[in-house]
Amino acid sequence: MLEVDKVSKRYERQWLAHELSLTVGAGEIVALLGPSGCGKSTLLKMIAGLEPLDAGAIRFAGVDLARVPPEARHFALMFQDFALFPHLNVLDNVCFGLVERRMPKPAAREAARAILATVGLAGYDTRAVGTLSGGEAQRVALARALVTSPRLLLLDEPFSSLDAHLRLTLQAEFGQRIRAQGISALLVTHDRQEAFAMADRIALLHQGRIRQCDTPAGLLAAPADAWVARFIGFDNVCERWALPETALRLSASAPAARVETMTPLAEGMRLQLSQDGQTYILHLSAREASPWRAQLAPGASVGLAVDSTAFIDFV
Partner 1 sequence: MRSTRVLALLPLALLLSLAGAPLARLMAEGAGTLSPAFLFDPYYRWRLLWSFTQALATCALALLFGLPIAWALARFDFPGRRWLMRLMMLPFVMPTLVAAMGVLALFGPEGVTGVMGQDTPWLLLYGNLFYNLPLLVRSAQEGFARLPASRIMAARTLGASPWRVFWRIELPGALPWVCSALCLVFLYCFSGFGLALILGGQRYATVEVEIYTLVAYELNLGDASALALTVLAITGLAALGYAWLERILARPLRGMALPRSAPTGWRQYALLALAMGLTAMLALAPLAAIAWRALWAGAAWQALADPEVWGALANTARFTALALAGACVFGLAHAFAMRRSVLLGTLAFLPYALSPICVAFGLLLLYPGLSASLVLLIGAYTLLAYPFIARGLAASLDAVPAHLPQAARTLGASPWRLTWRLLLPLAAPALRRGMAFAAATALGEFAVTLFLSRPEWMTLTTLIYQRLGRPGAMNQDSALVLSCLLMLLAMLAFVLIEWQREEARDAGGR
Residues that bind partner 1 (CB under 8 A): 45, 48-50, 52, 69-83, 85-87, 96-97, 100-101, 144-145, 148, 150, 154
Judged by beta carbon, residue 4 or residue 48, the one nearer partner 1 is: 48
In the bound state with partner 1, the residue whose beta carbon lies nearer, of 81 and 307, is 81
Residue 174: which residues within 8 A CB-CB, separation 6 or more?
A: 142, 158, 198
Tell me how far, at minimum, the Cβ of 140 lies from partner 1, in Å: 12
* Residue 284: count of CB within 10 angstroms of its CB: 19
- Yes or no: say if 243 and 310 are a contact pair by the CB < 8 Å rule: yes
Q: What letters, b where the CB count within 10 A reaches 16 and e where it falls short, cover 169-207?
A: ebbeebbebbeeeebbbbbbbbebebbbbbbbbbbbbbe
21 versus 149: smaller Cβ distance to partner 1? 149
Chain center to CA of 167: 12
Considering the complex, what minimum distance in angstroms separates the CB of residue 6 from partner 1? 23
Q: How far is the CB of 37 from partner 1 (least distance, A)?
A: 13
- CA dist 63 to 66, 67, 117, 161, Å? 9, 10, 35, 35
When the beta carbons of 75 and 124 are compared against partner 1, the nearer one is 75
Least separation in angstroms between CB 161 and partner 1? 10
Q: Which is nearer to partner 1, 17 or 145 (CB)?
A: 145
User: Nearest approach, Cβ of 157 to partner 1 (angstroms)?
Assistant: 11
